[in-house]
């Protein structure tokens, strides 16, 4: 899109017409050099991002943080990400994609390196978390939008799945590798590796070009983006974020309190399952239907949360596998369900809003559930998160069907 939502008096075109234009402008093949380059950027930036999946362990063991403090520190990052979304609405379709990717990656590198000097839960830590939230929103959403623009319409779920897969590989590699290294060399080395990986992402992002549109892109009215269908999908995305945030943030201190010595098995299981789903079943949602795949996956999400109420340290790998299976299927199916009916002139905004809803749910979970866990225990927050996710599934069951082209 070359413009942002406005109050233009131009009458809106049916979203299905705009969607047809998206199909017409997409390349015939998914595996273009530009698409592969986007994947490589996601791998490099994903390693930097995934290193901080171990942040709850760092906070608990090195800084003596309580559950509430862990939630607050994690939540700052996520709320800054949510607050960055309106700014990105303005920028994402005006500033060249590669410049946004370079900026977001460089910002992430600087923030990661700053952790070398973190010695307490104080202003420096919170400031770095804010910068990381901003960097993630810019880099991830720009890459995801590029993936949509570089993909054929009929392969949206598959292409978004592969973009996620590029990051998922590092979800297992980074925590497992960094946890071993910091045990011998200290946390500073892990933070330096994350910073270096983000710098590599910035170098790779230079020169990635946005594909030329096949037709003029009109301005889009906000009302076109806030219909019943999109609001239900945003709600489901927010509940997905709430479930994901609860698992990756609080399963770690929960397991440590039960005597676990290492927690990276959670992320290994998650990444292995999600990656396997993306490789073996990447086209499933495009073939059998994006809505049924998203609905079943969200129900599975809730069941994994309920099982975690009875967590044992030896279960971390299994919990990770369940999370990876559900998330691996859900994220691309739900995202494509939204994008398939979105106006061409709002692709960047729609992608940013979808991920913003996910981050909002993530933020709410980590901030609110930390205090609840201190009073009522970790099983309680996993029960609450599971029940909340089921409400998202119930809402998704009533999503209106996509309009058909005439």
For residue 258, give the CATH number of its domain: 1.20.1250.20
- Give whole-number Cα distances, 192 to 52, 61, 176, 177, in Å: 12, 19, 16, 13
Please tell me the distance from the alpha carbon of residue 121 to that of residue 65, in angstroms, as a whole number: 8
> Does the residue 216 lie in any domain?
no
Which pair of tokens denotes residue 74? 């994690």
Which pair of tokens denotes residue 27? 């390349």
How many domains would you assign to the chain?
A: 1
pLDDT grade for 147, boundaries at 50, 70 and 90: confident
For 8-50, write each residue's pLDDT tens digit: 333 232 233 333 333 434 445 667 777 888 888 888 998 998 8
> Does the residue 14 lie in any domain?
no
Q: What is the pLDDT of residue 221?
A: 54
> Does the residue 283 lie in any domain?
yes
Beta strands of 281-387 (E only): which ranges?
A: none
Task: Output 375 or 289, whichever has higher pLDDT.
Answer: 375
> Does the residue 74 lie in any domain?
yes
> Does the residue 84 lie in any domain?
yes
| Domain ranges, residue 334 | 29-210+222-396
Q: What is the pLDDT of residue 310?
A: 93
pLDDT exceeds 70 at position 185: yes
How many other CB atoms are there within 10 angstroms of residue 96's CB atom?
12
How many other CB atoms are there within 10 angstroms of residue 258's CB atom?
13
- What does residue 2 show for φ and ψ, rounded to 5 degrees? -105, 5
* Closest listed residue to residue 286, CA positions, set 195, 136, 153: 153
> Are the C-beta atoms of 287 and 336 separated by less than 8 Å?
no
Please tell me the distance from the alpha carbon of residue 21 to that of residue 138, in angstroms, as a whole number: 26
3-state SS of 136-156 is HHHHHHHHHHHHHHCCCHHHH
pLDDT grade for 158, boundaries at 50, 70 and 90: low
Q: What pTM does this model have?
A: 0.68
Q: What is the pLDDT of residue 370?
A: 82
Q: 401: which DSSP letter?
A: P
> Does the residue 38 lie in any domain?
yes
CA atoms in the 13 A half-sphere facing the CB of 97:
28
pLDDT exceeds 60 at position 380: yes
Burial letters 344-369, b for 16+ CB under 10 A, else e: bbbbbbbbbbbbbbbbbbbbbbbbbb
- Give whole-number Cα distances, 203 to 64, 98, 99, 200, 340, in Å: 37, 10, 11, 5, 32
> Does the residue 5 lie in any domain?
no
> Does the residue 12 lie in any domain?
no
């Amino acid at each position: 899109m070359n413009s942002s939502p406005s109050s233009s008096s131009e009458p809106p075109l049916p979203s299905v017409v705009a969607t047809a234009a998206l199909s017409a402008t997409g390349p015939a093949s998914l595996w273009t050099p530009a698409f592969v380059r986007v994947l490589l950027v996601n791998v490099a930036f994903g390693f930097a991002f995934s290193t901080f999946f171990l942040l709850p362990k760092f906070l608990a063991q090195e800084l003596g943080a309580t559950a509430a403090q862990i939630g607050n520190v994690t939540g700052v990052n996520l709320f800054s990400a949510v607050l960055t979304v309106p700014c990105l609405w303005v920028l994402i379709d005006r500033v060249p994609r590669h410049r946004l990717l370079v900026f977001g990656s460089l910002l992430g590198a600087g923030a990661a390196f700053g952790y070398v000097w973190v010695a307490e839960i104080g202003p420096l830590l919170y400031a770095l978390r804010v910068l990381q939230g901003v960097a993630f929103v810019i880099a991830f959403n720009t890459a995801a939008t590029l993936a949509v623009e570089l993909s054929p319409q009929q392969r949206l779920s598959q292409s978004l799945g592969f973009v996620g897969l590029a990051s998922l590989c590092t979800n297992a590699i980074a925590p497992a590798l960094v946890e071993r290294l910091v045990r011998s060399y200290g946390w500073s080395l892990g933070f330096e590796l994350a910073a270096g990986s983000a710098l590599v992402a910035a170098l790779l992002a230079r020169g990635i070009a946005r594909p030329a549109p096949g037709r003029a892109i009109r301005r889009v009215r906000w009302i076109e983006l806030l219909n019943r269908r999109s609001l239900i999908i945003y709600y489901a995305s927010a509940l997905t974020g709430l479930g994901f945030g609860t698992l990756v943030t609080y399963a770690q201190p929960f397991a440590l309190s039960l005597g676990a010595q290492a927690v990276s098995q959670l992320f290994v299981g998650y990444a292995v399952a999600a990656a396997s789903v993306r490789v073996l079943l990447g086209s499933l949602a495009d073939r059998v239907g994006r809505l049924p795949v998203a609905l079943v996956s969200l129900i599975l999400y809730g069941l994994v949360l309920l099982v975690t109420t009875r967590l044992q340290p030896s279960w971390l790998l299994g919990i990770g596998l369940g999370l990876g299976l559900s998330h691996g299927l859900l994220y691309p199916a739900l995202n494509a369900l939204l994008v398939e009916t979105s106006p061409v002139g709002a692709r960047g905004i729609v992608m940013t809003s979808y991920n913003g809803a996910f981050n909002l749910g993530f933020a709410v979970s980590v901030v609110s559930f930390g205090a609840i866990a201190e009073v009522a225990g970790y099983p309680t927050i996993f029960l609450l998160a599971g029940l909340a996710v089921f409400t998202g599934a119930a809402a998704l069951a009533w999503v209106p069907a996509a309009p058909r082209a005439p």
